Structure formats: C-alpha cells, structure tokens
Amino acid sequence: MNQVEELERAILARAERLAGEYRERAARSRDSILREAAERLRLREAREDGLAKTRAERSFRQQVQASELKMQTHLDRMRWNLVLDVEQRLADRMRVFMEDEPTYDAWLVSLIVEAAGVIESPEIQITANAHDQRRLFMNWDTVVAALPHGRLAALAPAPEAIDTLGGVLVTSVDGRIRVDHTFEGRLERLRPRIQQTILERLLPGGFDTGSLFIG
C-alpha cells in the first residue's frame, strides 16, 4: 500500500465520521424542532381551550342572567296580580260592611274622633262620598257628642262630596292639615303590609330567584 492509498482511506474515514456527526446533529435538531412544534401546538391548544371556556362561561352567565330577569319579571307580575286580587276582595268586604248601617255609622264616627285627636285645630271639616255625607248629616248629633271636649266640626256641603268607596277625609278648616281615612287612603298606607302578608302567607319562599338557579 502506497502513501496515496493510505491518504484516500484516511480521507474516506474522516468523511464517514463527519457524515455520522452531521446525521446525529440533524437527528437532534429534528427532534428539538419536533418537540418545540409540539409544545407550541400544546400551548396554542391550551390557549384556545381557555378562550373557548371563557366564552362558554360568559355565554352561560348571560343566559342565566336573562333567565333570572325573565323569572323576576314573571314573579313581579304575579305579585302585582295577587295585590290587585286582595284589594278587590277588600273592596268587596268593605261593601258588605257598609250594608250594616249601624256598625258602619259607628265606625265613621270613630274615624272622625281619631282624626280630631291628630289635627291640632279647634275646628275640623269632614268630607265623604255623597251617601256617607247623608248618613253623617242624619247622625250629626252623635258625631258632635263624640268629639273631644272643645272641638268643633263642620260637614262639607253636598256638592263637595268626594269620590271614594267609603270612609272620611278630615281636614283643618284652613285645609293645611288632613287625615285621609277614606278606604283608598287607608289602603294606600296599608299596601306595603298587604304585600308583606302576601309574601309571608301565599309565597313563604319569597321572590329570591337566585335559589332557583344556584340552589
């Protein structure tokens, strides 16, 4: 073997080693690239999953809120209808009560006396609907006798009768102080208690819509 052949073999061996090293580097680079690509893909999928979950949760909350608003509207309408029903029944009972004239007349007198005790005026004026003003006129002596000592009362003229189911409106002579003992006035003052009674008696669970959705 001459020197030329030895040099060729040395060159070939060197080339094979270099080729092997490059193949190993290429394999390592390929594996690294694949790992990085897989990680980027995993991160992108995780990010997309997170965004999808966020959108889904937002959509769910919006649907729940819309359902709650719809249910609250329905319950408010139900409560209002119940109040109207109770008020109608109270009006019917009031009409039945008014048919018992002796008892109703005595009740009117008690309302006047109560108002006279509240109004700090020596003289008061009494106004009612046309029917009750006639009843008060017929029983005026009883009204006057029931007033607190030193108090005077005047019955409003017939043309000034008010539009009310029953009861009386009592005012000071100058009109600055008034006690509304009409059926409608007393009902307006009692409306919060009526609604509370409806909630407690007819709907003991109240109107909390949150429990319908979150337990």
pLDDT tens per residue, range 201-213: 766 655 444 433 3
pTM: 0.60
Measured between alpha carbons, how far is 126 from 170 in angstroms, rounded to an integer? 5
Could you say which DSSP state residue 180 is in?
E
Residue spans per domain, the chain? 91-202
Other C-beta atoms lying within 10 Å of the C-beta of residue 207: 13
Measured between alpha carbons, how far is 61 from 64 in angstroms, rounded to an integer? 5
Could you say which DSSP state residue 159 is in?
G
| Rounded (to 5) percent helix, strand, coil in the chain | 75, 10, 15
The pLDDT tens digits for 134-164 are 999 999 999 999 998 888 999 999 889 999 9
Ordered strands of the 178-182 beta sheet:
152-155, 123-127, 167-172, 178-182
Other C-beta atoms lying within 10 Å of the C-beta of residue 109: 19
**Residue partners of 55: CB distance under 8 A and separation at least 6:** none
CA-CA-CA-CA torsion sign (3, 4, 9, 12): positive
CA-CA-CA-CA torsion sign (93, 99, 102, 107): positive
The pLDDT tens digits for 65-118 are 888 888 888 877 887 787 788 888 889 999 999 999 999 999 999 999 999 999
At the fourth CATH level, which superfamily is domain 91-202? ATP synthase, E subunit, C-terminal (3.30.2320.30)
Structure tokens at 169: 């409106």
